[in-house]
Structure 1
C-alpha cells in the first residue's frame, strides 16, 4: 500500500495552520490579560489617592470635631454668657461634624476593601498573562516539531508500510487529543465562563435594585472563577508539564513518576547518575515522552508491581534503562495493528531514530520487560 506524500503534507500543513491560529488566539488572551492588568493597576493607584485624600479630610475633621465638642462644653456650662440658641447652634455644629466624620470613615473603609480586592485581582491577572505567554512558547515548540520533524518523517514514508501506518496513527492521536481537549474546555472552563458572564450581569442589576446582596454574589462569583482557573491549569498540565520547560528533564520525570505512583498504586524507583543540567528542547521532550509511553504501556499491559528507571548522563550521550516485573510479552508478535495497538513501541523507536540514538527491548513471558535506549549529546 503506497503512501500519498502530497495528502500527508497537506494534512501536516493544515495541522500547522490550525496550531498557528490557536497560537494567535492564546497571544490575544495574553495581550488582553496584560491590558486588564494595566487597567486594574491604574484603578488601584486612583483608589490609593482617594484613600489618602479621605484620610487627610478625616484628620482635619477630627480636629474640628474636637474643637466643636470643647465649644459645646463651654457654652453648656455658662448660661449667663450664652443663650439657648448659642447652645443649640454649638450642638448642631458638633453633631454635623460627627456625622460627616462617620460617613468619611465608612467611605475610607469601603475604598480600602475595594483596593485589597483589586490587588488580589491584579495578582491573578499577572499570573494569567505569564501562563498565557508560556503557553504561546510551548505552542511554538509544537510548531517547530510539526514543521521540522514531521516534514522529515513524511519523506521517509514512501516505501514503508509500518511508517505509513505510524503517520496515520499520529494524525488520529492528534485528532483524538484535540477532541479530548475541546471536550474538556467545553464541559469545564467554557461553561464556567458563560456562567461567570451571567453572574456578573446579575451583580450589575443587583447594584441598582438591592446593593446589599452584591457582596454575597461577588463571593460566589469569586469561587466560580477560582474553579475555572483550576480547570484551565489542569488542561494546560495535561498538554505539557510546565516543570519540563521551567526546571528541565530530571525534575519533570520526578514529578511525573510521583503522580504516576499515586494514581496507579505502583512502586516506581528512579535513579539518576551524573550531574543534572538542561538539554536541547527536542531531546528533553523526546526522553520525557519515551519514558511516559513506557510507563503508559506498563500500566495498560504489564500488570507490574515495581518499575525501576535509571537515567545515566555521560559526556557524549544519555542512557535510559527501564525495567518492570510484569507479565512480559513476545516482542516478535507485537506489530502495529488497525486498532492502534503496537504504535507505542514504533513511536518510541521513531523518536530515538530522529535523534540518531538506538533502543533495545527485551521481554519474556512471566519475566517482565527491559527497555534500554541512548541518545547522543553531540548536538548540545
Structure 2
C-alpha cells in the first residue's frame, strides 16, 4: 500500500513540476514579448485572452522593416531590437537584447549619443554615427530618436530607428567625384579659351588698333570729320581690347599662377572697385608660402562669385576680404554692407543665378576639402566664410 501511494505521489509531483516549468516558460515568453494571446478556461469554456498591450500587427511590421528598430532605457540598455538591427551589427539577436547600445559605438560617438538622448527625451532628434559591428566592420547610419511612453514605472523608454547610409554615402561620393571632374574639365576649357583669346583675338585687335591710329595720323586736318571718326574707332578698339583682356584674366588669371593668391585677390578687388565703385579692402597677413594650386584657384573663384553677387544683388557700398592662415587651416572671409537676404527663403527674383552661385561656391569649397558658410540678415549685409584644411598629403608649396 505504501509503495503504491509513494508511486502516486511521485507521479503527482512530476506532473506539478512539469506544469510549473510550463508556467515559467509561458511567463518568460510573455515578458520577452513572444506571446500576444493565451488560450484559457472561461465561463463559456475555452477562450482566447489577448494580453494587455499586445501589438502583434505592429510587431510583424517592425520585424519586416529594412531598417533597424530598437527600444532603449535612458541608460542605453536595449530592451528590444529587430532582426534587421542584429544583421547590421552582425550579432545574434539574443546577444543584442539586454546589452548596452553604446557597445556598438566608439567612445566619441557614445558621448554624442548621451548628449542627444537628453534632448530627444523631449522632442526627438536625428544624428549620424558609425556602428561598430561584432566582426570589426563599421557601418555609417542615421539614428532617429523619439521618446516613447513610460514602462509603467519611473523609467522612460527611448525608441530608435537605425537607417543604413552605406548606399547614400556611396552615391554622395560618386556625385562628389563627378562634380570634381566637371570642375577640372571646366577649368581646362577656360584655360584653353583664355589662351586662344590672348594669342589670337587680342593680337588681332591690337593690330587693328595700330592701323586705326596710323589712319588717323595720315588724315589731314582738312578731313576733320574722317579724322574724328578714325580717332573714335581707335578708342573703341582700345576699349574692346581692354574688355577682352579682362575676360581673359577672369577665365584664367595668369597673376595667380605667377604671384599667388595674395596678388590675385588684391588685383581682383582693385578691378572690381574701378568697375563698380564699390570699395573692396583686403586684410589679413600675407601668406608666407604658396597654397596648393587647386586651393588657390578655389578661393579665387569663390571671391569672384561673391563679388558678382554683391554687384547684382547686394547694393553694397563696401566689401571687406580677409585672408588668413590658421595653422593648417586657410580662412577666407568676405563681408558686405548690402541689403542682405534670408538664407532660408530667397526672393523669387533671386532664385535663378543666385541659388546656382551659392551652390557653385559650396561645391568649390568641397572640391578642395573645405567648408563654406553663409550668414545674412536683411538690411545687415552678408558674410561668407570659407575654411579649408590642408591635409598632410596636400601641403602648401614654397
More helix by share: 1
TM norm structure 1: 0.42
TM norm structure 2: 0.40
Larger radius of gyration: 2
